[in-house]
Amino acid sequence: MTEYPTMNGAESVVRSLHGAGVSVCFANPGTSEMQFVDALDRTGLMRCVLGLFEGVVTGAADGYARMAGVPAVTLLHLAPGLSNASANMHNARKARSPMLNLVGDHAVRHRGYDAPLTSDVAGAAAPFSDWVKTATSPDTFARDAMEALGAAMARPNRVATLIAPADIGWDEGGVVAPPPPPPDFAPLDEHALERAAGMLDAETVLLVGGRVLEQPDAVALLHGIADKTGARVLAPTSNRRCDRGAGRAGIDKVPYPIDMALETLAPFKRAVLIETVPPVAFFAYPGKPSLLLPASCEVMTLAGLDGDGPAAIAALAERVRASKLIAPVELPPSPAAGAITPATIAAAIAHALPDNAIVVDESISGGRDIWRATRAAAPHAWISLTGGAIGDGIPMALGAAVACPDRPVVSLQADGSAMYTIQALWSQAREQANVTTVIFANRTYEILKKELFAVGANPGRSALDMLDLDRPHLDFVSLARGMGVPARRIEDAAELQRAIADAAHEPGPYLIEAMM
């Protein structure tokens, strides 16, 4: 604590974060964050990645954390910058991804005036953060930052937002603070273990999420348990990350469409939850339930969100004398020359995925067949949209590439969703991120059309105008080139497979507009 000469609050935060293992800063700074820009510059301790829009910054931080297991720090500019960042904070929060946001505010003495950028930063942070604090003094600022990091790294991981009034950062008196203590798991409940072991039969579903899905051995053990007992294994519809592919045990997910979800879960009288909560419908629909398990289903938690799911699974396997099981699966046939459809794009991706790839999935309706098709693809990590706030994919791909520079990233991106944070392509080009983006160009908010038809509407021109993206056409090749990313358009499924494989093996970003 005494090794540094006098420093300002901002420098004490940068040094403390670095000391605690935070080595990347995703930033879209403004005037009130210039002391951080200066401290990052002078210390040279972190890799700084600029986003041209704040949703890029938090989406990238989310993708980074999902792959690195530790958070980056973000740098955001007052309440409007924070609000631009919030949709992807929401997604990170729903993913239970660790995130640490540093948001500048006016100097304390300036906040009482109605300056143009004055607004309620803490109020804006609250709905999208699990932890919010405003720094009050340079000498406690780094300690606040370590508290924020501790909150982000707690079990389950959380979104922590520390608000930094400009003068707290620029005033001298900063004191470097020690890293937060490592978090503990909630202990395994032996009674719950016994109860779960006694519940397993063909009318029981094991619902597993969180860290379990990142450990293929734990999933394989689950399948052994299922094989031994007749129980079924399912994962939630959306997850922070899943490590899967050839030689690993796969897992089925609760389907997104409400009727399919209800049908999938209807047979079960008992549910055992491991690092997840009871599944809920994405939206409410007239005459349909919000909770997806049957009302009469007996639900018990073996390991909560704060528990150690893989350890619980190991204990359960021991109890029922099950061992790992990896069912053999095969790739679908390569697509023949022909139209790009949900089925052929899925087959193309399954064959094109390079070894050890990171798949970022924001493919929405066009990607419905990919999860199943890629079960036997080369081993990969799969990270996907979790909170339903579209515009997470291109930034997450950037962040994943920063976290894992030696792994190819394949970013599966619906066209409508792509436009929310399209600016992330520029950061991919600047960072020479190894990302192959595949745009699923169906030129519509297809999923909304389905929803509109589902509520029985008979849409006319005016409704379709709010759901179609075909007037004018979005030209993603031009958009990508405009931000320094080479790109091409492809209309044939077989060519698509070759193009993805080629691009994924080349360094740097590339974009393929797949015309569906």
DSSP secondary structure of 280-331: B-SS--TTS-SB-S-TT-EEEEEE-TTB-HHHHHHHHHHHHT---------P
Q: Residue 249 or residue 446: which is nearer to a copy of itself going by CB? A: 446
- Tell me which residue of 59, 56, 159 sits closest to 102, measured CA to CA: 159
Under the criterion CB under 8 A, does residue 147 sit at the interface with a copy of itself? no
Binding mask 164-183 for a copy of itself (x = CB under 8 A): --xx--x-------------
CB of 429 to a copy of itself, least distance (A): 5
CA distances from 400 to 93, 293, 343, 351, 382 (A): 17, 34, 26, 21, 11
CB of 460 to a copy of itself, least distance (A): 5
**Subset of residues 71 to 130 that bind a copy of itself, contact rule: CB under 8 A:** 79-81, 83-84, 86-87, 90-91, 94, 106-107, 109-110, 113-117, 119-121, 123-124, 126-128
Signed CA dihedral, 149, 213, 59, 156: sign only: negative
Under the criterion CB under 8 A, does residue 430 sit at the interface with a copy of itself? yes
Helix, strand, coil percentages for the chain (3-state, nearest 5):
40, 20, 40
Q: Residue 237 or residue 411: which is nearer to a copy of itself going by CB? A: 237
**Subset of residues 220 to 249 that bind a copy of itself, contact rule: CB under 8 A:** 237-238
Q: Residue 128 or residue 382: which is nearer to a copy of itself going by CB? A: 128
Residues 126 and 310: their CA atoms lie apart, in Å, by 32
Under the criterion CB under 8 A, does residue 448 sit at the interface with a copy of itself? yes
CB of 441 to a copy of itself, least distance (A): 12
Scanning the structure block, which residue is given the tokens 């930094």?
A: 164
**Subset of residues 377 to 416 that bind a copy of itself, contact rule: CB under 8 A:** 386-389, 391, 416
Under the criterion CB under 8 A, does residue 254 sit at the interface with a copy of itself? no
Residues 141 and 10: their CA atoms lie apart, in Å, by 8
Residue from 186, 201, 230, 473 that binds a copy of itself (CB under 8 A)?
473
Q: Residue 160 or residue 249: which is nearer to a copy of itself going by CB? A: 160
Contact 440, 345 (CB under 8 A): yes
CA distances from 167 to 38, 136, 173, 391 (A): 14, 9, 11, 33
Give the E-state strand segments of 109-231 in sequence order: 131-134, 159-165, 204-208
Q: Residue 367 or residue 391: which is nearer to a copy of itself going by CB? A: 391
- The single-letter code of the amino acid at 364 is I
Q: Residue 171 or residue 369: which is nearer to a copy of itself going by CB? A: 171
Binding mask 279-298 for a copy of itself (x = CB under 8 A): -xxxxx-x---xx-------
Residue from 21, 44, 187, 405 that binds a copy of itself (CB under 8 A)?
44
Q: How many CB atoms lie within 10 A of CB 330?
A: 8
Q: How far is CA 182 from the centre of its chain?
A: 23
**Subset of residues 486 to 515 that bind a copy of itself, contact rule: CB under 8 A:** none
Residue from 21, 247, 267, 482 that binds a copy of itself (CB under 8 A)?
482
Q: Is 201 exposed, middle or buried (0-12, 13-18, 19+ CB in 10 A)?
A: exposed
- Tell me which residue of 230, 227, 108 sits closest to 167, measured CA to CA: 108
Q: Which stretch binds a copy of itself (CB under 8 A): 177-185, 312-320, 434-442, 477-485?
A: 477-485
**Subset of residues 321 to 360 that bind a copy of itself, contact rule: CB under 8 A:** none
